[in-house]
Amino acid sequence: MLVLGIESSCDETGVALVEFEAASTTPPRLLADALHSQISMHQAYGGVVPELASRDHIRRVLPLTREVLAKSGRPLTEIDLIAYTQGPGLAGALLVGAGVAASLAAALDRPSLAVHHLEGHLLSPFLSADPPEFPFVALLVSGGHSQLMRVDAVGSYELLGETIDDAAGEAFDKSAKLLGLPYPGGPHLAKLAEQGNPEAFALPRPLLHSGKPDFSFAGLKTAVLTQVKKLGEAPSEQQKADLAASTQAAIVESLLKKSLLALKETGLKRLVVAGGVGANKSLREQLNAACAKRGVRVHYPELNLCTDNGAMIAMAAALRLQRGMGKPLPAGSGFEVRPRWALDAVN
Ligand code: KG4
Ligand code: ZN
C-alpha cells in the first residue's frame, strides 16, 4: 500500500510517500520526501505571518508532490490513500493541505485520512534506523507544545503533564528575539550558546520542584528581557553568548528534570524525544547522560525529521492503517481542519 502524506500546519510544506504492508508488523518504509521551509519568507517579520504561510503552501504543495513522485519513481495512480495534517495549527495553512488532499483523493477515487500533527511528531522516530518499542514516555517539544505523554501503542496516548504557559520552542524563540537573533530563534540561540557560560546568569526555572511533570516558561522571557535591559545598548558578543547559554540551560534543565520525573512515575525505561526542540544538542547530550545512568534508552527522530515534515504524517497514517485504526474517508467526502485539537482526543 502507498500513502502520500501532506503537512502544511505552520511554516513548512512537506510531502512524502510511504509504503507499507497492510495487517503486518513490518515497519512502513519511507520511499521519498520533499520539504519547503518558509523561514526566509517570514524572517523579515520576526515570526510566522499566517496569510503569507497559506499562500505559500498553495504555491508549493503540488510541485513538492511531483518531486516526491519523481524521486520514488511511482506514478500518482499507484497511491492508495492521501493523508494530511488536520490540526493543530494555523487554520488557513491547514486548509491548503487538507483541500489538496481531498481534491487528490477525489480525482484518484481514493480515500483520505486526517492525521494529528503531534501524533506525527510522536511517531517520527519510527522512521529512524532504530525505532522504539512500546510502551514509552514521549517528550514532545515544539514551537507550540511542550508535553510529556505515556504512549502504550499507536493511538494510546496519556497526557502526563504539559506547559501551563509558553512552549519550550516558544521560550527559545522569544528569548532569541530579545537577543536580536533571527527567527526562528531556537537553532540560532543554541549556536550562540556554544560560546557562552551557562552559569553566567541566574535565570528562573519555575515549577522545577512542583513534583509534577509540568512546565512553565513564560517567566523566563521576562527574566531574559530584564537581563538584556541591564546589559544596555551595546552588549559584548561574550555577554550575549553567556545569556544565550544561560537561557538554554534553564530550558534544558526543566525538560530534563521533568522527563526524568515522568520516567520515574511511570516506571518506564524508554524515552522518545520529538518536535523541533528535540534537535537541540545540549538537550540531547544531557538527556543521553542522565538516561544512560538510569538504564533508560532514548530515541530521537533523524535530525532532519525533528522539525515539521511530510514523512511523519505519512508514517503516522501508515502505522494507523496497518493496525486497522483511523477512519479513512471515501473520495468526495470533503474535509475539515482542527486548528485546536488535543492529542489524547485521538485515542
Ligand atoms: O516541531 P516544529 O518544527 O514546529 C512546530 O510544530 O512548532 O518546532 C519548531 C520549534 C521552533 O520553536 C524552533 O526554534 C525550535 O523548534 N528548534 C530548536 C532547535 N531547532 C528547532 N530549538 C532549540 N534548539 C534547536 N536546535
Ligand atoms: Zn510540529
What integer pLDDT is reported at residue 110 of this predicted model?
98
Which atom of ligand 1 lies at the shortest distance from residue 167's CA? 12
In one letter, which amino acid is 291? C
**Closest alpha carbon to 155 in 282, 301, 272, 325:** 325
Query: Which-ligand-closest: CA of 191?
Result: 1
Range 14-21 average pLDDT:
98
Going from the Cα of 50 to the center of ligand 2, the distance in angstroms, rounded, reads 15
What integer pLDDT is reported at residue 25 of this predicted model?
85
Q: What percent of the chain has pLDDT over 90?
A: 96
Query: Which-ligand-closest: CA of 115?
Result: 2
What integer pLDDT is reported at residue 12 of this predicted model?
98
Q: How far is CA 8 from CA 13, 36, 56, 302, in A?
A: 5, 10, 10, 20
Tell me if 21 sits within 8 A of 318, measured CB to CB.
no
Task: Kindly report whether the peptide bond that precedes residue 125 is cis, defined as omega within 30 degrees of 0.
Answer: no
3-state secondary structure 195-232: CCCCCCCCCCCCCCCCCCCCECCHHHHHHHHHHHHHHC
Q: How far apart are CA 319 and CA 158, in angstroms?
A: 18
Going from the Cα of 153 to the center of ligand 1, the distance in angstroms, rounded, reads 25
Which atom of ligand 1 lies at the shortest distance from residue 118's CA? 6
Range 160-180 average pLDDT:
97
Tell me if 94 sits within 8 A of 339, measured CB to CB.
yes
Range 77-101 average pLDDT:
98
What integer pLDDT is reported at residue 263 of this predicted model?
98
Which atom of ligand 1 lies at the shortest distance from residue 168's CA? 12
E-strand stretches of the chain: 2-7, 12-19, 29-37, 81-87, 112-116, 136-141, 146-153, 156-162, 270-274, 297-299
Q: Is the pLDDT of residue 326 over 90?
A: no
Domain 2-123+306-346 shares a fold with domain 134-300: yes
Q: Is the pLDDT of residue 347 over 90?
A: no
Query: Which-ligand-closest: CA of 171?
Result: 1
Q: Is the pLDDT of residue 89 over 90?
A: yes
Tell me how crowded residue 149 is: count the other CB atoms within 10 A of its CB: 25
What pLDDT digit, counting tens, does each position of 29-76 carry?
Answer: 999 999 999 999 999 999 999 999 999 999 999 999 999 999 999 999
Going from the Cα of 21 to the center of ligand 1, the distance in angstroms, rounded, reads 32
Which atom of ligand 1 lies at the shortest distance from residue 89's CA? 6
Q: What percent of the chain has pLDDT over 70?
A: 100
Range 219-223 average pLDDT:
96
Q: Dihedral through CA 202, CA 179, CA 170, CA 244, nearest 10?
A: -40
Place of cell 505559500: 56
Q: Tell me which residues have their CB closer than 6 angstroms to ligand 1.
A: 10, 142-144, 169, 172-173, 184-187, 190, 275-277, 279-280, 307-308
Pick the CATH number of 2-123+306-346 from 3.30.420.40, 1.20.1260.60, 3.20.20.30, 3.90.930.12: 3.30.420.40
Mutate-to-test residue for ligand 1 from 145, 277, 300, highest number of ligand atoms within 8 A of CB = 277
134-300 belongs to which CATH class?
Answer: alpha beta
What integer pLDDT is reported at residue 275 of this predicted model?
94
Q: How far apart are CA 301 and CA 280, in angstroms?
A: 12
pLDDT band, very low/low/confident/very high, at 77 (cuts 50, 70, 90): very high
Q: Is the pLDDT of residue 23 over 90?
A: no
- Break the chain into its structural domains and give their ranges: 2-123+306-346, 134-300
